[in-house]
Structure 1
Amino acid sequence: MSIFPQFDMIPLAILTALFGLTLFVWFSGKKQLPYPPGPKRLPIVGNLFGMPSEEEWVTYRKWSDEFGSNIIHTDVMGSHIIIINSIKAAHDLLDKRSAIYSDRPPMAALRKLLNMEFLIGLLPYGPTWRHLRREFHNNFLPREMEPFERPAVHRLLRNFLSSPNHFSMHLRHMEGQILLSAAYGIDVRPERDPYVEEAGKVLYALKFGSTQDASLFDTIPWLLHMPSWFPGASLKRRARKWRLVVDNALQMTRDKMKGELASGTVAPSVAANMISKLDQNSTELDLLAAEGVPATMYIGGIATTVTALETFILAMTLYPEVQRKAQAEIDSVVGNSRLPDFSDQDALPYVQAVLKEVLRWHPVTPLCFSHRAMKSDIYEGHSIPAGSIIIPNVWGMLHDPNIFTEPDRFYPERWFSPNVPDFPIQAFGFGARQCPGRVFAQRSLWANIAGILAVFDIVPTEDGPPEKKFLSGLISFGVR
């Protein structure tokens, strides 16, 4: 009797045919133009046991040096993976050929197991994605966010003064105040706001759903249906816990909107504006957009902006000379009687360079969102198969020593050199998939960085400077 009773129902002939088909696909791939170079792979499983699980971006960059190519090929269980490690290759493929590379992999852990279909950036290329992205652009106007930004930044500075050791909590509260007000008309509590706290939990759900382990649900889809005894089933059990977190965060905002609609006390917001336009002629896409647009603002905005500000604070503790130089510029231009505002931005070029260096030194999404090749392609004499998962190593691109001298050093002065790009736009993605909220993110980061530098000195705790170490995942948090 088989120790795997579920397999007793499968005829040996079918198993043999499946094994033969896998071998055929494996060996038939060795044809015409070669794949890009990459690490050695085993038959059938490919590089399943050789993919990094921590600070993947560093390993992927080293592979480019080892194999002498800016694009690397590997595979896991027959799923082709192309890793892009240079700005030029990313521009050539993801920007210039965006018609081929604008799709997403299944992202099954995030979309199916965690029920995060509402995040526009996760949706596959097609009419649903185009409709929601268009609605996002029509409803999320960065200039209209300014009335929400100033009071939130002022509250952040007061909170820093009262309890500086809780800076991460204060950063989430600040960004939550801006985005929840704009997205849902929610006036958040001064502290321990339940909406902000739930958004913070969703960040960790995002991290869980975007790890190397979670990506196995894309490369080995049948794992989604694996029985409870199968190795790896613990991932599905953990996913159920995180799905409850995600569902609860969304349900809270749904209940809030339903209650206000019923009582006729709806506050102005993106959600209220989109709901007011729904009628009997509205389509399912319209209904999906009315939920997906504000939810993407709420979750996506908090995830990215807060993480970048945490990186800024880390950099200031490790590079105090940079902090002093930025503060001296603010003092000379703004003085001590008021806080910097957007009218000062052009007169504070070093502060702007600090912002750019934050995005370069450790991008919020060091491996970006993966793309998917919708058809076969050829690049610099190498074959890229249709269906390949494309991983843009943004960290690797922005740490290219041929462009950025001493790439591991936090050095804002590099942005005054004519030999570097004008802005690290790679930190916001590529082609049609570039972050739709990037303008707001840059404005929010600048307002907070300038405000914090104008008021505070950022110094290490008594335990000494923190370690520069970042967790893996789609959103890369610093380890504290």
Structure 2
Amino acid sequence: MSILSRFDMIPLAILTVLFGLTLYIWYSGKKQLPYPPGPKRLPIVGNLFSMPSQEEWVTYRKWSDEFGSDIIHTDVMGSHVIILNSIKAANDLLDRRSPIYSDRPPMAALRDLLNMDFNITFLPYGPAWRHLRREFHINFLSTEMEVFRPFEQRAVHRLLRNFLSSPNNFSKHLRHMAGQIILSVAYGIDVRPEGDPYVENAENVLHALEIGSAKEATLFDTIPWLLHMPSWFPGARFKRRARKWCRIVDNALQTTHDKVKGDLDSGTAAPSVAANMLSKLDENSTELDLLAAKGVPGTMYMAGADTTVTALETFILAMTLYPEVQRKAQAEIDSVVGNSRLPDYSDQDALPYVQAVLKEVLRWHPVTPLGVSHKVIKSDVYEGHFIPAGSIIIPNVWGMLHDPNIFTEPDRFYPERWFSPDVPAFPIQAFGFGARQCPGRVFARRSIWANIAGILAAFKIVPTEDGPPEKKYLSGLVSYVKPFRCYIRPRSEAAASLVRDTENEI
């Protein structure tokens, strides 16, 4: 839901125009080359009122076709925005020129108003980011993650049991499963089957993230003086609401941090990333070490759950709309795994079609269709076009993964495409670019795969009597599937019995 109504934005726009001369850099600085092509701009406000507010990824892709360029230039109140619509452009700039394209925009709503500056995703390029990135890699080594496989498998099996008992609540069950995995791995918390306070805290943090990444929140980056606007000012409702959610986020993270610290002191701490990092702190620890001990598990807490849920909702939607894909994947599982057990991680390499389904889920609708914005730290030139220093770079991941020159019939859910030598080996763009690529991508892929394989082995997903649902997604940093209905039924009594038997696992 929008945080600021269009009415609320009117006084902001008027005052912005009045103060426009201080921001008016339309023609400032000398450039020898043209900007990349883009939609026509108005004086001072630029493209402020022409930027799309829904399904932006579709509009940005159309702009590439309209203006004949893989990169598009827009201007929002003097802030240059460069949109990358092709894998080639993203590779050339965000990967090969990563040292100057790995900064972040201010993200003031998230970092300043909601106190999420511990999150490595939002940190600017610099010493703090490098330190947390290094700690992420250390804690996400495959050998470090092996200890958590039983936790993940139990969470998947609990999800299957929940699907068996109340399939209509599949979105709720997906969220609980994702929360269970993240909380166990990040903090060693064994969550309750229902009504767990830590899961509820995680949901609150994710809701705050949704608020802080809403379209209106970017106004604080475009018009920085809004950060100093008094709370009674028209349009300041966002700041008032952010103050409340900031307290909720701080409390949620402090609660989990204190629990792990208490468990370490009493010698009862379960294996977790937080326990591992906190146990290494001593009197010689630096401020960056303290930040990492909070930021690494905290980022997992925020980043892992929502992305897993959204990917699995996309999977369920796809299975509802493409029954032939579901049948092929289930036939492969039956032939390899059989009917006497459920699939587990050891089956991944033997189930290439299920792997292709996972790849297609991440391509068909990426969890973050516009990625996370980058910022270029110095002026650059690309294919004869000038990119000013400080430009915000939006990687249109959806547009890249729907490029018809690479992915034939891009709107079709078609796992078979991943067996062709003409497409990339994996839609790695779904996990970011360059130095900013998601450090937990291997863990995320494994978790999503385990759930997909388990669901396919045990259940059949079909449309309701109302017919196939609509494929519709909401805008935001994480693009949620618009709520839809389907039937999730056991494939057989034998499959249902296998699911029930997981209740007894240790």
Is the contact between residue 98 and residue 434 of structure 2 (CA under 8 Å) also seen in structure 1? yes
For the pair 1:132 / 2:132, whether they are aligned, the reply is yes
Normalized against structure 1, the TM-score is what? 0.93
**Aligned counterpart, 1:447:** 450
Equivalent position of 1:346 in the other structure:
349
- Cα drift, residue 31 of structure 1: 3.3
Classify the secondary structure of the residue corresponding to 2:216.
Answer: coil
Cα distance in 2, alignment partners of residues 48 and 203 from structure 1: 28
Matched-pair contact (CA < 8 Å) for 1:206–1:475: no
Is the counterpart of residue 81 in structure 1 residue 84 in structure 2? no
Q: What's 1:294 paired with?
A: 297
Q: CA deviation at 1:145?
A: 2.6
Q: Note if contact 1:53-1:211 (Cα within 8 Å) is conserved in structure 2.
A: no
Tell me the residue number matched to 1:158.
161
| Cα pair distance change 1:247/1:21, threshold 3 Å | closer
Tell me the residue number matched to 2:278.
275
The more displaced of 96-105 and 188-197 is 188-197
| Conserved? CA contact 1:94–1:101, under 8 Å | yes
Corresponding residue of 2:496: none
- Are 1:207 and 1:472, in contact at CA under 8 Å, matched by a contact in 2? no
Within 5 Å, give how 1:408-419 maps onto structure 2: 408-419=411-422
Deviations, residues 12-59 of structure 1 (Å, cap 9, x unaligned): xxx99x765544x22235731000000111111111111111111111
Structure 1 counterpart SS, 2:296: helix
Give the structure 1 partner of residue 38 of structure 2.
38
Structure 1: state its 5+ residue gaps.
1-14
Cα separation, 2, equivalents of 1:375 and 1:125: 13
Per-residue CA deviation, residues 283-322 of structure 1 (Å, 9 max, x unaligned), is 1111111111111122211121111111111111111111
Q: Contact 2:206–2:306 (CA<8 Å) still a contact in 1?
A: yes
Corresponding residue SS for 1:196: helix
The one-letter amino acid of 2:477's match is L
2:205 and 2:235 mapped to 1: Cα distance? 22
The 2-side partners of 1:56 and 1:465 are apart by 25
Aligned counterparts of 2:246 and 2:325: Cα–Cα separation in 1: 41
- Determine the structure 1 residue equivalent to 2:56: 56
The gaps in structure 2 that reach 5 residues or longer are: 1-16, 484-506
Moved more, 359-368 or 174-183: 174-183
Instruction: Report the Cα distance in structure 2 between the residues aligned to 1:20 and 1:438, rounded to whole angstroms.
Output: 44
Question: Residue 461 of structure 1: CA displacement?
Answer: 3.3
User: 2:255 and 2:232 mapped to 1: Cα distance?
Assistant: 35
* Residue 310 (structure 2) aligned to one of 304, 307, 317: 307
Partner of 1:431: 434
C-alpha contact (below 8 Å) 1:360/1:424 kept by paired residues? yes
- CA deviation string 1:320-355 (max 9, x = no partner): 111111111111111100111222222211111100
Deviates more, 1:422-431 or 1:289-298: 289-298
Deviation at 1:268, TM superposition (A): 2.6
Residue 400 (1) aligns with residue 403 (2): yes
Q: Quick one: which of 189, 192, 197 aligns to 1:194?
A: 197
Structure 1 residue 228: Cα displacement: 3.5
Aligned partner letter, 1:309: L
Letter in 2 for 1:52: P
Judged with a 3 Å threshold, the aligned counterparts in structure 2 of structure 1 residues 425 and 388 are, in CA distance, closer, same or farther, namely same
Letter paired with 1:416: F
> CA–CA distance in 2 between the matches of 1:334 and 1:258?
42
SS of equivalent residue, structure 1 residue 39: coil
Q: Which of 234, 250, 255 is the equivalent residue of 1:252?
A: 255
Q: Distance in 1 between matches of 2:268 and 2:349?
A: 41
- Read off the aligned partner of 2:414 and give its amino acid letter: Y
CA drift of 1:273 comes to: 1.6
Structure 2 Cα separation of the partners of residues 21 and 55 of structure 1: 32
Does residue 1:238 correspond to 2:238, yes or no? no
Question: Quick check: 2:20–2:44 contact (8 Å CA) kept in 1?
Answer: no
**Matched residue of 1:383: which SS?**
strand
Q: Which residue of 2 aligns with 1:68?
A: 68
Match of 2:384 among 377, 381, 385: 381
Q: Which region of structure 1 is more displaced relative to structure 2, 263-272 or 314-323?
A: 263-272
**C-alpha displacement at 1:229, in angstroms?**
4.8
Aligned-pair distance for 1:446? 0.9
2:94 maps to which residue?
A: 94
2:149 to 139, 146, 154: 146
Say if 2:163 and 2:170, in contact at 8 Å, map to a contact too.
yes
**d(CA) in 2 for partners of 1:245, 1:459:** 39
Other structure's SS at 1:28 match: coil
Q: In structure 2, what is the Cα distance between the partners aligned to 1:332 and 1:381?
A: 54
**1:114 to partner: Cα distance:** 1.2
Where does residue 8 of structure 1 map in the other structure? Answer: none
1:149: how far off? 1.4
Which region of structure 1 is more displaced relative to structure 2, 396-405 or 465-474?
A: 465-474
Paired residue for 1:222? 225
CA change 1:99–1:200 in 2 (3 A) is same
Question: Is 2:261–2:275's contact at 8 Å kept on the other side of the alignment?
Answer: no
In 2: Cα distance, 1:130 partner to 1:19 partner: 36
Superposed displacement of residue 376, structure 1: 0.4
| Partner deviation per Cα, 1:117-149 (whole Å, 9 max, x = no partner) | 121111000110010111111123333331211
Q: 1:217 and 1:202, CA in 2 relative to 1: closer, same or farther beyond 3 A?
A: same
Aligned to 2:471: 468
Conserved in 1, the CA contact under 8 Å of 2:31 and 2:386? Answer: no
Counterpart residue number, 1:359: 362
Is 2:177 the counterpart of 1:174? yes
How far off is 1:243 after superposition? 2.1
What amino acid maps onto 1:199 in structure 2?
A
C-alpha separation in 2, matches of 1:256 and 1:418: 50
Look up the equivalent residue of 1:45 and give its one-letter code. Answer: V
Per the TM alignment, residue 165 of structure 1 is displaced from its structure 2 partner at its CA by 1.1
SS at match of 1:330: helix
Partner of 1:3: none
Name the SS for the 1:214 alignment partner.
helix
Structure 2 residue identity aligned to 1:114: L
Report how far residue 261 of structure 1 moved: 4.2
- In the alignment, the residues of structure 1 paired with residue 337 and residue 21 of structure 2 have an alpha-carbon distance, to the nearest angstrom, of 72
Q: How far apart are residue 441 of structure 1 and its match?
A: 0.7
Which residue identity is paired with 1:196? V
Distance 2:171 2:96 in 1: 38
Structure 1 range deviating more: 281-290 or 199-208: 199-208
Aligned length: 464
- For 2:81, give the aligned amino acid: I
